[in-house]
Every structure is written in structure tokens, then in C-alpha cells.
Structure 1
């Protein structure tokens, strides 16, 4: 498995990362452990979770399953935003971050978090407060690297300037939704991240399964699939996306590949991308995601993409 450094100063990540949002929600401990074991066997060393996934169960399942294999992986987790019904006062975000970190360390059964994300920007607290709290955790050895998630290009720029002005550790990367059906981030966030030497980690690389080929225009959702069980994601089920999927499928098949392989290969070909967050509910899905990286797109392929 190829590894890439996240930005100018981040950790080395396996090109495919395991998205652990299904743990504790769709998957119990036994099923989660099977997916984790398959990931390790396939060369995945980047595990992405969050304190909100499964109400903390995702972190617990990872900590329990890894055991003495903990040092073989890079654990990335995220702290929730500060409760929005609580008025902001200076220091409130800092206290929230410190408490969240302690909770994640406990659930993960580890003494440090390799990559710690601000899951969502705080609409009221200055980013300076978040950066200073995270820098404190770095100085204590409880966190090794920090990153942002779900931010705008302006927020990437503001955080970089704040870190430089305060003399604290900057975000080494940013995580965002990016795939062949969701490309708005290319206008602002991606260029700004590149300009600030921040690495990029796309999530939803398969557009909630639409880029796997398992959903067909006008046909019922496969039983148990994400679109079948989670109405929140059905906004992507539209005529425009299905037309795009059909064109991309034909493009891939003409070259002897699947649309899933195209979706993964296209993202890793983008400048600044360090790792993809690919979720899985079975060991077979893990192996399929890893195998998809066997196709390296040429410049001609990228230019001909419909």
C-alpha cells in the first residue's frame, strides 16, 4: 500500500483510509473487528473515526480490536462542535476540546491521537482559541498532528494566518466531501489548501455508493444499502447524477475497469490528496476498495473524462 504525507508536516497515511463511521451504528463489535482485521491485512494503516460516530462506540471498537497492534496504525479522530445552545464565552471552546480529547483517548485505549480534527468550525469562537488548545495538546504529547474538516476556503486561509500569527501548530490538512459527483470544493477549498501546503483527505469518494454501480436509474435501492436505510443521503438520487454515472460507467468499461475503480483512481490522481476515506461494512468491501487503486489514470484518461 502506497503512503503519502499529509501536507507539508502531517503524518504518512495509507492511500486508502478506513472510514469507521459504521462502527457502533450499522456494525456491532464483532462485525467491526472483522472489517478492521481485513483493513490491516490489506495494508491500510489510516483509520478515520470521530467521537460522534456510533455515539462513541466507533472509537471504543477500534481501541478494543487493535489491542497491541495500535502502533501499526495512524488513528485520526474528531471532536464535535461546541453545543450550539450554549452561549459562547472566552475559553469555552478550549475546555470543550480538552474534554473531548480526554474522552477519545480513553475510548481508543491509547496515549495519543495521531491526527486530531476539528470536525466542524465553531460559528462563534475564534479559530485562534481552537488552535491554541490543540497546540497545548500537542505540547503534552496527547495529539501529534491537527487538521480541519468541513471548512470553506476562507476558513482554511484564516486558520493558517492565525497559526502563523500566534506561533502555534497549524492545521496540516483538511478533510472534505469530494468525488466525481461532488466537485464544488474545487473552486475554493482545494486551491486554498494547496496554497497553504495543507494536505487534502476526501470523504465519500463513492458518493454514498452511487459511484459503485449498485444503484440504477428507476430501480429500487438494494436492501440494506445506504440510500435504502438513510433518507439523509437520498438528495444525490437525481436524474443529473444518474446521467453522469452512466457516462462515467461507459468511460471506465471502455478501458476495462469499473466505475468504482474510476472514482478512486481519479481522486488519488488529484494534486495534494494524501488519502481517501472509504467506509466498509464487510471485509470484502475493504478488499475491493484497496484493489481499486490498481488503475493509475494517465494524463490522456484525465483529459478524456466525460
Structure 2
């Protein structure tokens, strides 16, 4: 598997990253261990998690693996902070966005304890916090690096203007290494301003949900499988990609896959890995079998005609002021 430089930083990651949002919830420790073994055998290095995944259980599973099954030096660990669980007034589960200095640094310390390591390779702010200034958030990121708890820092799910402002605030000593956003044939919104901004600022893009929340695997073309996310509590997460223009994109991917003798998911990932500015595509498999299918994508070079056709069918609407 190819190792790619993250922007203009010194951080290098595998072109496919291993997402762990399902670990500790839908994926148990045994399956997680098998995923890591397969991932490392294929040349993978980047493992992406967050303090909020499964209320910290995702990081705990990683900690268990690092306690004897996997060497810390084998992994490039990325985690996110800025979202915490909190009960709603009605007693139900809720979440609070908090990118304040105290919240970010406390979360990072707790993540390090759960994973049993003294540092992460990449520390990301999970999403924008309208109640905290970027100056304060950046101060926390600077402390994370200068204290040795994080080697590099970045943003997740932030717009282009916030990316540019953060990069400016972190200059010249710390720098903004990475941005992590949803990017796939079904979601190309990053191309409007975040991707050009990241490129100009020297930050690398980590793409989450590169398989369009699982829809680009083609498994929803005929029906909704009973064991899929769309049939369970995450139905609302998948639903936007099950109708409208997305169906044309899915069919185009399926047609291309049939012609190439490959799986639709492999074609979708191969398209993304060939895009400019992509440091890594993070695949979040629930099972070892799902991961093994995604790993096959690194061996696929799409013919120019196929790549161009997929570009056309999935092209986002870009107008003023991004295009003058």
C-alpha cells in the first residue's frame, strides 16, 4: 500500500486508513484484532478514531490491541475531540460540541489513557464550535503539540474559511497538517472551497466515508439488507444517499465495476484515491470481510474513460463565488 505525505507536513500515512467508529459497538475486540492484522499485512498504517466513538469504547479496544497484539510503532494514530455525550433534559442521550481549551485537552488526556499511549500522531477538532473562538481552539492545539501529547494537529468537518484562519493562527511553529471531511462520489462538496484552501495552505485531506456511507458498495441497489446501517438506528445517516441523483451515481459505479470485473466499492475507492490532494481514504468496516474487500481497491487503476465518466455523473454544482 502506498504511503502518502499529509500535505506539506512530515507526517506520512497509508493511502487507506482504518476507521474505527464501529469498534466497541458493532465490532468486538476479536474482529477488530483481525481487521488490524489484515490492515497491517496490506501495508496500512493510519488508524482513525475519536473520543466520542462508542463513548470511548473504540479507543479502549485500540488500547487493548496495543497492550500486546500490536506494536505502537506500527500505527499512525489519529483521534478527534470536541464532542462529548450529555443527557438531554428528557433523560435521553445527547451530545455537546465543545472545542474550548479545557475540553479539548481533557479529552486528549482521557484518550491517551484509554489507548495506553503517551501521544497520538494526529489530533483533530471534530467539528466547529460556534461558542468558542478559533483563537482558543488553536491555543489548545498548540499546547497539544508543544506538550508532546500530539505530533500533528488538524480539523475535521470545518469550512474553508475556518481552515484558513486556523492555519494562520497556528503559524509558524505548529502548522495545520490535515483536514478530515466526508468525500466520495456521493459527496463532493469539499471541492468547492475546503480542498482548494487545504491545498494552498499545505494541509492534507483525509476522506471519511469514502464509500458514501456504504451506499457505493451497491448493497442497497435492490433492497435494504436487514443487518445494514440503513435498517437500524443509523437509517437517517444513510437515507440521503438512497434516492435522487445519488441513484444515478451508484448505477454508474455498478456498471463500471461490472465492466472491470471488480466490486463497486473498489471502483469508488479507486476513483477517490486518484483525486488530487487526498492523503488517505478512511474506510470504516464493521467486519473483517468488509475491510478485505476495501483493501482490494489499492490494486485498481481506473482507465481514464471510466474515471472521466464517474467525474461527470457525480459532478457537484459549483457556482458563484467559487467559480467566477
Tell me if TM exceeds 0.5.
yes
Q: Is the 8 Å Cα contact of residues 81 and 119 (structure 1) preserved in structure 2?
A: yes
Q: Which residue of 2 aligns with 1:136?
A: 143
The answer to whether structure 1 residue 243 and structure 2 residue 260 are counterparts is: no
1:39 and 1:257 map into 2 onto residues whose CA distance is 20
Q: Which residue of 2 aligns with 1:259?
A: 264
Structure 1: which 4+ aligned runs deviate by more than 4 Å? 82-85
Q: Which residue of 2 aligns with 1:272?
A: 277
Q: Which residue of 2 aligns with 1:88?
A: none
Tell which deviates more after alignment, 232-241 or 10-19: 232-241
2:272 and 2:51 map into 1 onto residues whose CA distance is 26
1:92 to partner: Cα distance: 8.2
**Aligned with residue 172 of structure 1, among 159, 173, 177:** 177
Q: How many residues align?
A: 297
**Aligned with residue 196 of structure 1, among 171, 196, 201:** 201
TM-score when normalising by structure 1: 0.91
1:173 to partner: Cα distance: 1.1
The answer to whether structure 1 residue 67 and structure 2 residue 67 are counterparts is: yes
Q: Is the 8 Å Cα contact of residues 179 and 207 (structure 1) preserved in structure 2?
A: yes
2:67 partner SS:
helix
1:60 to partner: Cα distance: 0.6
| Unpaired runs of at least 5, structure 2 | 89-97, 314-324
Task: Report 1:280-295 matches (<5 A).
Answer: 280-295=285-300
Higher relative contact order (CA 8 A, sep 6+): 1
Q: Which residue of 2 aligns with 1:16?
A: 16
Q: Is the 8 Å Cα contact of residues 99 and 137 (structure 2) preserved in structure 1?
A: no
**Aligned with residue 228 of structure 1, among 228, 231, 242:** 231
1:39 to partner: Cα distance: 1.9
1:274 and 1:282 map into 2 onto residues whose CA distance is 24
Give the helix-richer structure, 1 or 2. 1
Q: Which residue of 2 aligns with 1:40?
A: 40
1:27 partner SS:
coil
The answer to whether structure 1 residue 206 and structure 2 residue 227 are counterparts is: no
Aligned CA RMSD, in angstroms, stands at 2.0
Tell which deviates more after alignment, 45-54 or 94-103: 94-103
| Unpaired runs of at least 5, structure 1 | 86-90
Q: Is the 8 Å Cα contact of residues 18 and 283 (structure 2) preserved in structure 1?
A: yes
Q: Is the 8 Å Cα contact of residues 81 and 122 (structure 1) preserved in structure 2?
A: no
Q: Is the 8 Å Cα contact of residues 208 and 227 (structure 1) preserved in structure 2?
A: no
1:182 and 1:92 map into 2 onto residues whose CA distance is 25
2:99 and 2:51 map into 1 onto residues whose CA distance is 18
1:82 and 1:222 map into 2 onto residues whose CA distance is 31
1:277 partner SS:
strand
1:82 to partner: Cα distance: 7.2
TM-score when normalising by structure 2: 0.86
Pick closer, same or farther for the CA change 1:104–1:226 going to 2, 3 Å: same
1:205 to partner: Cα distance: 0.6
1:296 and 1:124 map into 2 onto residues whose CA distance is 45
1:83 to partner: Cα distance: 8.5
